[in-house]
């Protein structure tokens, strides 16, 4: 999972791509657990997954209406289709991904 900057996010959305954008903060313990879950997901499915440290992008928190971290944004053809805050488990995330993106 690569760290994205604003340009990479814009290219992803403007290019009508499909995948996940993971917003986190480094000091968040729950975010660290969520990151490990997403690393497993990354090994299991072929999908664009980018992560962004929300401390550097407070304007994106407003733009995407992010209420808390960790936050996983599902993007299909450049459009946000779901925002997820409770990651639950790897099987739960896989099911959500299959439901929305695969």
Q: Is 71 a catalytic residue?
A: no
CB atoms within 10 A of CB 37: 19
d(C-alpha 60, C-alpha 46), whole Å: 26
Q: How far apart are the first and last CA of the chain?
A: 18
Q: Please pick, among 9, 20, 21, 31, the residue that the annotation labels catalytic.
A: 31
Q: Is 31 a catalytic residue?
A: yes
Catalytic residues: 28, 31
């Amino acid at each position: 999972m690569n760290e994205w900057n604003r340009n990479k996010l814009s290219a992803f959305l403007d290019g009508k791509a499909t995948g996940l954008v993971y917003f986190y903060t480094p000091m968040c313990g729950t975010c660290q657990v969520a990151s490990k879950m997403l690393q497993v997901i990354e090994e299991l499915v072929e999908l664009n997954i980018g992560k962004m440290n929300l401390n550097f992008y407070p304007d994106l928190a407003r733009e995407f209406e992010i209420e808390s971290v960790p936050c996983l944004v599902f993007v299909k053809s450049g459009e946000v289709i779901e925002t997820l805050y409770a990651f639950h488990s790897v099987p739960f995330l896989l099911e959500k991904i299959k439901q929305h993106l695969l």
